[in-house]
A = this chain, B = another copy of it.
């Protein structure tokens, strides 16, 4: 993961403020656990409300988590007062989401003035501690 300098010295407070206002995220139970310039970590305890038709993690929950990990990674890399909007996002689904807890990391892969390109993964941990990637996201985030 590349290390970046934040443009906003209060990037953490600013990103946390944006997170605090995100009601859908709180409804899901998704929590951000780490904020660094251009880098986000979060996790989600699996609940019955997250199930698709087979009882596994719903692709919509997965894409929401990826969107937030990427969007807030972008927020941590903008000047104070600037906003971030998702222009487009792609999600590739690698493995079914069958676990009691899911994790995500989102990161800016190419920062820019007009937009930040971001990527993110949702994964769970096997008993031996190794990661199983549920889905990988790639997105364009506009800085406005």
Mark A residues whose CB is within 8 Å of B: 18-19, 21-25, 27-28, 48-54, 58-61, 63-65, 67-68, 71, 83, 85-96, 109-110, 114-115, 117, 133, 136, 138, 140, 142
Contact = CB atoms under 8 A, between A and B. Distances in A.
A87 B140 contact: yes
A128 to B, nearest CB: 16
Contacts of A96: 85
Contacts of A27: 49
B138 A92 contact: yes
A91 B93 contact: no
Given A60-B61, A110-B136, 12 more contacts: A21-B54, A22-B53, A23-B48, A23-B50, A23-B51, A23-B58, A24-B49, A59-B71, A60-B65, A63-B91, A87-B140, A109-B136
